[in-house]
Amino acid sequence: MPDINDLFDVLDGEMLLYKDLLDISTKKTDVIIHGKIQELDNMTKVEGSIICRLSKLEEEREKILSGYDDTGEITISELCKMLPEDDSKKLKKIQKEFESLLKALNDRNELNKSLLQQSIEYVNYSIGLISSNLVQDNGIYGDNGSIKQYSSIIDRKA
């Protein structure tokens, strides 16, 4: 049987990385609201590197768990039954922390998804307004090739 402390170390590492993802997702909300595209791009790159590190830890976790069960599909509940009481309690505590953290991360990502969808809809609406005004006015050039004078392309009454 593998050393349970190795599993705890891997889970702690994963927990820290998921907390980093939650922190970035929380900051992302403000960035999305203020339309800071470059910052959003940078945050996405950082998230990508965190996900790569998480993937490596996940592989390590699966390798450790395969030492407890040949199929590699042992659940936390099953593992807790195999462990001494102290280790079992510690593992259950970690499990609850993960559940809470992953729920918060999922909720924040859903909010960010909704905000991005609203931004896309607004941009598409704005493009539609501009396009329809240009089509109705037959473009931006006058009869002799000079640029038409517009006080405003978009009707501000919306």
Average pLDDT over the chain, rounded to an integer: 85
Q: Is the pLDDT of residue 10 over 50?
A: yes
Alpha helices in the chain (DSSP H): 4-33, 37-66, 76-82, 85-136
Q: Indicate the DSSP class of residue 153.
A: S
Q: What is the mean pLDDT of residues 91-100?
A: 95
Q: What is the mean pLDDT of residues 4-14?
A: 95
Of residues 39 and 152, the one with the higher pLDDT is 39
